[in-house]
């Protein structure tokens, strides 16, 4: 079993640590770094792992997971790069940062795998996209998948598609929350109490998502099964089309993709 170190054990780093433990990873094979002593104590008491300094993590870990904020990654890599032993796998959770950014800060030949997950990792329902840097092998990708599979589903994509992944699934939960918020408000407009409207929409969203995943049917087919001739559903869909909801979604995701590209460009 490999030893994994998480640099920057904030919310996402903690989610990864807890998922690995639930999957049977031994606590003595997990390390973390933390800036604040109280955070270090919290992680040690909650998970039974060791919170160590960067030098210890570099020396003992086989996999170095970078989970700091993107704007802090350069500083961390400048510290780690000169001391990084050969053969260590670096896994990046830094949204928007390409593997080429890591290559500029790390020794030549260091394998880097770029990961984009999302907040449903908190409930083990994440969608995680994994991309190989120029020196990462199939073995490195398989190890990264093993790390993130406890948090939900994983998929391999070329790194050139990561900005699209960020727009679609990385930011995707926010779009669904926005839709649930709007539909809850609609329920209130129609005379339902807020909690009733909320419960109706949330369970409908969960049930619809499960049907999409479990049935394997195209969403159009599932939608048509609910859409009776001259019924309520087709009248609602007509209004959605008249107000350009489909076009708005396309434009929104393009805007998110473009912003991801801008952030990557700003990283230098």
Question: Residues at the annotated binding site?
Answer: 67-70
41 C-beta neighbours (distance < 10 Å), count: 12
Buried-state track 189-216, b at ≥16 Cβ within 10 A, e below 16: eeebeeeebbeebeeeeeeeeeeeeeee
Q: In Å, what is the CA distance from 211 to each residue of 11, 204, 220?
A: 30, 10, 13
Binding residues for NADP(+): 67-70
Alpha helices in the chain (DSSP H): 11-22, 37-47, 54-60, 70-80, 99-105, 138-148, 162-165, 172-189, 194-215, 219-226, 232-242, 245-266
Task: Give the C-alpha separation, 66 to 15, whole Å.
Answer: 13
> Which residues 6+ apart lie within 8 Å of 253 measured at CB?
167, 168
How many Cβ atoms are within 10 Å of 255's Cβ, its own excluded? 11
H-assigned helices in 61-157: 70-80, 99-105, 138-148
| Rounded distance between C-alpha atoms, residue 82 and residue 190, angstroms | 63
**Distant-in-sequence, close-in-space partners of 88: CB < 8 Å, separation ≥ 6:** 58, 61, 62, 63, 64, 110
């Amino acid at each position: 079993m490999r030893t994994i170190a998480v640099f920057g054990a904030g919310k996402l780093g903690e989610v990864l640590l807890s998922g690995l433990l639930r999957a049977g990873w031994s606590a003595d094979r997990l390390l973390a770094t933390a800036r604040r002593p109280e955070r270090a104590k919290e992680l040690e008491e909650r998970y039974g792992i060791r919170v160590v300094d960067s030098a210890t993590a570099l020396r003992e870990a086989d996999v170095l997971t970078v989970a700091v904020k993107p704007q802090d990654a350069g500083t961390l890599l400048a510290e780690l790069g000169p001391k990084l032993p050969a053969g260590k796998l670096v896994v990046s959770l830094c949204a928007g940062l390409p593997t080429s950014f890591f290559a500029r800060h790390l020794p030549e030949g260091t394998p880097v795998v770029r990961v984009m997950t999302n907040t449903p990792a908190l409930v083990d329902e994440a969608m995680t996209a994994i991309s190989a840097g120029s020196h990462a092998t199939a073995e490195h990708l398989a190890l990264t998948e093993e790390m993130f599979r406890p948090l939900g589903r994983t998929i391999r994509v070329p790194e050139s598609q990561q900005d699209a992944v960020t727009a679609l699934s990385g930011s995707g939960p926010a779009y669904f929350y926005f839709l649930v918020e709007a539909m809850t408000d609609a329920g209130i407009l129609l005379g339902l109490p807020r909690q009733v409207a909320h419960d109706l929409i949330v369970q409908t969203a969960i049930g619809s998502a499960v049907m999409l995943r479990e049935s394997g049917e195209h969403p159009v087919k599932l939608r048509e099964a609910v859409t009776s001739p001259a019924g309520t559903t087709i009248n609602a869909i007509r209004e959605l089309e008249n107000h350009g909801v489909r076009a708005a979604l396309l434009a929104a995701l393009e805007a998110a993709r473009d912003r991801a590209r801008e952030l990557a460009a700003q990283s230098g």
